[in-house]
Amino acid sequence: MRKNLLSPSLLAADFSRLAEDIRNVEEAGAQYLHLDVMDGAFVPSISFGMPVIQSLRKNSNMTFDVHLMIEDPDRYLDEFAAIGADILTVHAEACTHLDRTIQKIHQLGKKAGVALNPATPLSVIEWVLPEVDMVLLMSVNPGFGGQKYIPYVTDKIRALRAMVDGRGLETDIEVDGGVSLANVSSVLEAGANVMVAGSAVFRGDAAENVKAFLEKLS
Ligand code: DX5
Ligand code: ZN
C-alpha cells in the first residue's frame, strides 16, 4: 500500500518566523517539508538557498523535500546533500544528462526526484523511470506560490500512475502548485500520493490546515 503524504511548501510561510511555522506543521503531522530553491534563471524569481536550509535542519525532523528550480543542478548537489536534504528533485528541463544527475544523487545517499513542467511530456522520463524515487508533476508554471492549478495536469497524473503501476514500480508521484483542500481529493484520486501545498497550508491556521489535508489523505 502506498503512503499518502503532505509536503507543506515553505515558500508561503512567514520568513520572519520560519522556525515557528515549521514546528506548527511538524507537530500537526506533516511528514515532508517542501523547500523551493529558485535561481532567477530557470525560473524568474529567487527564493532561498543553502544557509536557510542548513539552519532549518536543526529545527526539524521532517523529510526535507528539496525542489531545485535551478539550471544545471549538478553544480550544487554535493552541497545540498551535505546540509541535510533527504530528497533532491531536479527539473528534467534543467539537466543535460539527466541519467547522470540521478546517479549522482543516489551516490550521495539521497532519494532522487525528477520534476516536469506542465508542458513537458511524460515521455522524457520513460527510460529513467525505474531509477527515480519520485516524479514531481508541476501543476503550475514554476516560479511563484499562490497560482491556480492547471486542470489538464489531472489527466497527466492519471497517465503517470498507469505508467508506474503498469511497470510494477513504486515511484512516488508528487504534485506541486495550486493544490488546495478543494481539489486535493481529485489529485489523490488521479493517482498522486505526495501533495505539495504552500498557500493552502500557510495562509490561515497552518496546523488546522495540515490536519484538514491529512484527513483527506487518510
Ligand atoms: C512553485 C513552487 C511550489 C509553490 C507551491 O514554483 O514549486 O512549491 O510553493 O505553492 P502553492 O501551493 O501556493 O501553489
Ligand atoms: Zn515546489
67 known member of a binding site? yes
* CB crowding 178-187: b at 16 or more within 10 Å, else e: bbbeebbeeb
User: Looking at the 3D structure of the chain, how many domains does it have?
Assistant: 1
- 146 CB within 6 A, ligand 1: yes
Q: Give the mutation target among 194, 199, 201, 210 for probing the ligand 1 site: most ligand atoms within 8 A of CB.
A: 199
Q: Using CA atoms in the order 59, 36, 191, 179, what is the torsion angle rounded to 10 degrees?
A: 90
Residues designated as active site: 36, 176
Q: What is the pLDDT of residues 71-126, one digit of tens each?
A: 999 999 999 999 999 999 999 999 999 999 999 999 999 999 999 999 999 999 99
pTM, whole model, 2 decimals?
0.98
Please state the atom number of ligand 1 nearest to the C-alpha of residue 11.
Answer: 9
**CATH code of residue 112:** 3.20.20.70
198 known member of a binding site? yes
Supply the DSSP string of 114-132, one letter for each residue. EEE-TTS-GGGGTTTGGG-
pLDDT at 1: 77
- Percent of the chain exceeding pLDDT 70 equals 100
Q: What is the pLDDT of residues 7-26, one digit of tens each?
A: 999 999 999 999 999 999 99
- Helix (H) / strand (E) containing 172: strand 172-176
96 vs 83: CA distance, rounded Å = 25
Domain of 123? 5-217
Give me the amino acid identity at 142: P
Average pLDDT over the chain reads: 98
